[in-house]
Amino acid sequence: MLSVRHISKAFPGVQALSDMQLDVHAGEIHALVGENGAGKSTLTKIIAGAQAPDAGEMSLDGKPVRWTGPAAAKAAGIHVIYQEFVLFPHLSVAENIFIGHYRRNRLRAVDHAATERAAAELMARLGVRLEPWRLVGELTVADQQMVEIAKALVDRPRLLILDEPTAVIAGQEVEALFERLRLLRDEGVAIIYISHRLEEIFSLCDRVTVVKDGQWIATHAVGEVDRDRLVTLMVGRDVTQFFPPRADAADVAAAEVVLQASDIRLGRRVRGASIELRAGIVTGLAGMVGAGRSELAMAIFGGLPMEAGTVAIGGRVFRRMTPAIAIRQGIGFVTEDRKGEGLAMLQDVAVNVTAACLDSVSAGPMLQSARERSIADADIEAFRIACFGPGNPVATMSGGNQQKTLIARWAHTCRSVLILDEPTRGVDVGARTEIYRIMRELAARGVAILMISSELPEVVGMSDRVYVMREGSMPGVLEPGQITEEAVVDLATHHRHAA
């Protein structure tokens, strides 16, 4: 249906695409994978008419096309759903779906009842039960995603492009999304699926195209390749050990307990959960979305007030925690929302990596810029942050390098504990291996790592011990030798306790 041939695109100082090619068939889900900066976004924008190529050609149904803008591509049936939704939270589901296309009566006034009926029909086509009069701002992220897909269906899309659609959902919400995408595929819609989560490629997609450094590398039927082969194609080298070696069982058992959270309660979100973190050990915290994992971590760090329970660290017991107390006790926290809650996006690398240790770069009330840059220079080298130096704005960096910048910040203060909430969300496979390496290096320094993750391969591959949460409670903990994907899922979905 869609054919891209010899596409090139350059920006000042950067060759984003060079002789790129891609073929997408009607009625298939086609994965597009590659590291951050590989050219996926630029290719997507050219297909969607948001950018014009410098060279090459694109054809639809065998006929050459060159878009004059996104409207022309959309009129031809090409629709993009970006990672950050384009929705109006104060409008209803129906109003968002049909914005610019409202149903009207004979007097040309908006017919709200007809618009809501049409919205309900579209949601039913997706197998979603969602009241069309509800405000979008009241919906879960998963339901908002369904509204975005329903918006696309208004224009009867022939090609649907999804950019990291599972970045903010997990578990049953992901499978529900997959079911809806399969329905669209079976109706003949072509889907380009962009994701860093390789397990999703094998679960959902029919074919996969790998791009690297702005060039086409390979296209395969999903059944022809395995994870290791895909990783090798993406990074250009053989990745024989995706996860660093885990700690020995004897070392895990002998490790000193540096933090003990006991009977933590936060209303219905966390109901009497307890967890201990050990020096030099990576402790995984798993469970379904909404199980209370992030809330428990925020309570330990003091970001949410505990209704009951205690946190013991460094020989002191706290019934009330605040971020200031946690930082003084040597606890660091890498939030799952690095753009909204973690990084100062309009500031540079130097400002961001020193944000939690201003005393070390200050002389009284005055900031020592040279000292700040010196620390940033050392962190750029130690954490292998790809940028143009300490003055590089973090907003212009890839997701993986933004994440490494955030981890570098907390590495200065986490003498005892580092909490990482979804540390590899939205980063490519190359950056993931770097983040895993950093985690193990910090653990080797004696830091206790608490890793919250929705990805089972990551939980199993990185964790020395795994706590599992379910509906705010803690059904059990998996020790070395017990950690498997099946065991995690069993605890996450049943009230059965592990040793």
Lowest-pLDDT range of 66-80, 138-152, 349-363, 413-427: 138-152
Q: Which of 443, 490, 437, 80 is nearest to 279 (CA)?
A: 443
Is the model more confident about 56 or about 486?
A: 56
**CA gap 290, 140 in Å, rounded:** 11
In this structure, the strands spanning 2-11 and 55-60 are antiparallel
User: With contact defined as beta carbons under 8 Å apart, do 81 and 157 qualify?
Assistant: no
Q: What angle do CA 446, 449, 453 make, to 5 degrees?
A: 160
Residue 499 is predicted with a pLDDT of 42
pLDDT tens figures, 170-197:
667 788 889 889 988 999 999 999 988 8
Is the model more confident about 103 or about 53?
A: 53
**CA gap 398, 431 in Å, rounded:** 10
Q: Is the pLDDT of residue 87 over 70?
A: yes
User: With contact defined as beta carbons under 8 Å apart, do 191 and 181 qualify?
Assistant: yes
The percentage of residues in the chain with a pLDDT greater than 70, rounded to a whole number, is 96
Q: What angle do CA 124, 129, 134 make, to 5 degrees?
A: 115
**Confidence band, pLDDT 50/70/90 cuts, at residue 497:** very low
- Count of alpha carbons within 13 angstroms of residue 78, beta-carbon side: 24
**CA gap 27, 347 in Å, rounded:** 44
Is the model more confident about 342 or about 216?
A: 216
Q: In sequence order, what are the beta bridge partners of 3? A: 23, 59
**CA gap 150, 156 in Å, rounded:** 10
Domains and CATH numbers, the chain: 2-235 (3.40.50.300), 249-493 (3.40.50.300)
Residue 163 is predicted with a pLDDT of 87
Q: In sequence order, what are the beta bridge partners of 402? A: none
User: With contact defined as beta carbons under 8 Å apart, do 430 and 400 qualify?
Assistant: yes
Rounded to an integer, what is the distance from CA 463 to the centroid of its chain?
19
Model-wide pTM > 0.75: no
Show the 3-state SS of the chain: CEEEEEEEEEECCEEEEEEEEEEECCCCEEEEECCCCCCHHHHHHHHCCCCCCCEEEEEECCEEECCCCHHHHHHCCEEEECCCCCCCCCCEHHHHHCCCCCCECCCCCECHHHHHHHHHHHHHHCCCCCCCCCEHHHCCHHHHHHHHHHHHHHCCCCEEEEECCCCCCCCHHHHHHHHHHHHHHHCCCEEEEECCCHHHHHHHCCEEEEEECCEEEEEEEHHHCCHHHHHHHHHCCCCCCCCCCCCCHHHHHHCCEEEEEEEEEECCCEEEEEEEEECCCEEEEEECCCCCHHHHHHHHHCCCCCCEEEEEECCEEECCCCHHHHHHCCEEEECCCHHHHHCCCCCEHHHHHCCCCHHHHEECCEECHHHHHHHHHHHHHHCCCCCCCCCCEHHHCCHHHHHHHHHHHHHCCCCCEEEEECCCCCCCHHHHHHHHHHHHHHHHCCCEEEEECCCHHHHHHHCCEEEEEECCEEEEEECCCCCCHHHHHHHHHCCCCCC
- Count of alpha carbons within 13 angstroms of residue 110, beta-carbon side: 10
- Count of alpha carbons within 13 angstroms of residue 223, beta-carbon side: 1
Averaged pLDDT for residues 406-417: 91
Residue 340 is predicted with a pLDDT of 81
Helix 141-154 to helix 112-125 angle (10° resolution) is 100
In this structure, the strands spanning 29-33 and 465-470 are unpaired
**Confidence band, pLDDT 50/70/90 cuts, at residue 459:** very high
Residue 498 is predicted with a pLDDT of 44
Sorted by sequence, the CB contacts under 8 Å of residue 384 that are 6+ apart come out as 404, 434
Residue 134 has a CB neighbour count (10 Å cut-off) of 14
C-alpha dihedral (326, 327, 331, 337), degrees to nearest 10: 90
In this structure, the strands spanning 308-313 and 257-266 are antiparallel
The percentage of residues in the chain with a pLDDT greater than 90, rounded to a whole number, is 50
